[in-house]
Each structure stands twice: as structure tokens, then as C-alpha cells.
Amino acid sequence: MIDAISEKDRRLSLWHSLPQESLDEIEPQRLRDLGIYGGAQGIWVDKAHTASPEIGTDGATVAILHTGRHYPDDLSDDGVIYHYPTTSRPAGRDAAEVQATKNAMSHNLPIFVILPGKTSQARRSLKLGWVCEFDDNNREFLILFGGETPPTYSKAETTNDPFRLTDQAKRKSSTMMVRLGQQRFRFHVMSKYGYKCAVCDIRHPQLLKAAHICGIAEKGNNDWRNGLPLCATHHDAFDNHFFCIEPDTGALRCKPGINPSEIGLHQTKLQPATNTPHIEALRWRWAVTQKEWGQEQSSAGEFNGAR
């Protein structure tokens, strides 16, 4: 009988059978020959190896394919947010694949994450992933990359947990400094607030960003209470201090000289669907923005006086 321990060992054996120095440029046929992947579908379960009374009749997902075409922001160096399948296949097929991916999580089984090749579309990149959490409301999984053991992961903070605005950024060495924890942050922000811009009516997931209130450059924490879902336009406007949020009232205030309609602000108050940012994060941002606005007004006055 197939059990979770033997299936985990089988997967790790497959992982070690691949040359680790060339995981970014693998022939697709090599993955199929090993049984790591079975075709063009987004989720590969391979029930012959994974369906059993212990694991479940739906089996356990062996691999997922993420092309990056539809949800590029959902992929980062430390993980991927993977959306539940929604296809026109026979009823129950999508639900079975979702359950199989949940089974991989509950039985602590690693899965193979197949990505486009680094230099050639005819090749594939391969990472070892661990399903850390799922969100049935938003229909998505959080899958973090790791090695033979799952990466360190903590669930979303509760509203009553102690809040720390800043944190020492966790980075890994590379040609570019990469901040870790971005996919966890995005997953939790969208899970807590829902897929809707906090200051306008845009709801499409591909148009929404997980915005830090205390930003990455200021070592802002990846606690969801230091974040908001914002559309691309309002994310840019927020980063450029075109508007800010009054901490105690949630009122939206525009930079002096900017009309709310000019930047698409048609509501007067922060209105996330559920939950709210931490008051400490909003107060920090308010103080920084007020200082920014004051400096710009002072500079404008000096320039006008010089004329």
C-alpha cells in the first residue's frame, strides 16, 4: 500500500536524480520520463503512485505548472501563489485536483514546481515546493520553495498579536538583493482583505498589488497589518505620497494641489472588505507623508521667492 513516507522518499529520490546544476534548463521529456510531470495540465497528480486509503482517493499532487503568463506577480524567488484550476473539463475534475494539492499539504509531501526555462521556452526550470496554506475564498494555494524539509513558515498574524512595524530584512545573496517573504505577505494581504483595491472598485486579481504601508526600503515588516491591497495605479500614487490615510478616521487625504478625481479616488474613506491595517502602521505613514508634503511646499515657496 502507498503511504506518505514512501511517497515522500520517492519524490526526494527523483529530485536527487536530477543534476542540481542544470535545474533551470531541463528538457520537458526528461520530466515526463521520470514521472515528475504528465503533460500540459496545470496540476499533475499521478494517481497510480499517489492514490491510496492513507493519502486519499484523489491522490496527492506531484507537480504544478506555472507559466507566469496570467499571474506574473504571484511568482517570486521564494515561492508561488497558485490559483485553483477553473476549466471546462468534466464536473469534479478541478475539485479533485484541488483536493489532491491539499492532500500533499496535509501529508507533508513536497511537490515539483515547473516553470519556464531561464533562457529557452523549449526548456523548463524546476523547483521543489511545499504547500504551506490554502484559501478557499480566494481559491489559491501558497507554495514556498525549499529543500528536503519544508521552509520555515508562520501563519497570518491575528489582529490581537503584538505588532512590530519594522523588521530586519531577510535577504539572500545574489547579483541582486532579494527580500524574502513576499509571497507569504501577498497571500495573507489578499486573504485578510479580499481581492479589491482598498481605495477604488477594481477587483481583478491581476490588477492588484500587496502594498506595504511601511515600505521595504524602510524595513517594513511582512505582517499583513502593514499592508493593503491596491490596484497598480493607486499603489504608485500611494508610493509617491499623492494621497494618504488619516490613522484615526480612515479618511483619504490628497496631497495639496491634487484633486481626488485626478487620481481616481472616488471614495472618501478606506474601505477594505474585511479587517483593517494596524494603527501604528497608519500613523507611521501619515507622519512620513505629512513631512514629505511640508518639504515640497517649503521647496516650492523658496523657488517662487527666488524668482
State the Cα–Cα distance between residues 264 and 279, nearest whole angstrom. Answer: 25
Q: Which residues contact 127 (CB under 8 A, 6 or more apart)?
A: 23, 112, 113, 115, 145
Print the domain residue range for 275: 194-298
| d(C-alpha 249, C-alpha 76), whole Å | 35
pLDDT by residue (tens digit) across 104-122? 999 999 999 999 998 888 8
Q: How many domains does the chain have?
A: 2
Calpha distance 224→210 (Å, rounded)? 9
> Considering 145, 164, 184, which residue would you say is the last residue of a domain?
145
Percentage with pLDDT > 90 across the chain: 72
Q: Are residues 24 and 128 located together in one domain of the fold?
A: yes
- Residue 44 to residue 74: CA distance in whole angstroms: 20
Q: Are residues 138 and 198 in the same domain?
A: no
Q: Which of 110, 145, 180 is the last residue of a domain?
A: 145
* Domain-located, residue 306: no
Q: Are residues 68 and 141 in the same domain?
A: yes
Question: 3 with 105: CB under 8 angstroms?
Answer: no
Q: In sequence order, what are the residues at sequence separation of 6 or more whose Cβ sits closer than 8 angstroms to the Cβ of residue 194?
A: 137, 138, 229, 272, 273, 274
pTM for the predicted model, two decimal places: 0.87
Are residues 236 and 293 located together in one domain of the fold? Answer: yes
Pick the more confident residue, 255 or 173.
255
CATH number at residue 118: 2.30.280
Together in a domain, 8 and 126: yes
pLDDT above 70: percentage of residues in the chain: 89
Q: Looking at the domain assignment, is residue 188 inside a domain?
A: no
Same domain, 140 and 208: no
Q: 100: alpha, beta or left, given left = phi > 0 and alpha = psi -120 to 50?
A: alpha
11 falls in which pLDDT band (50, 70, 90)? very high
Q: Which three cell numbers stand for residue 69?
A: 503568463
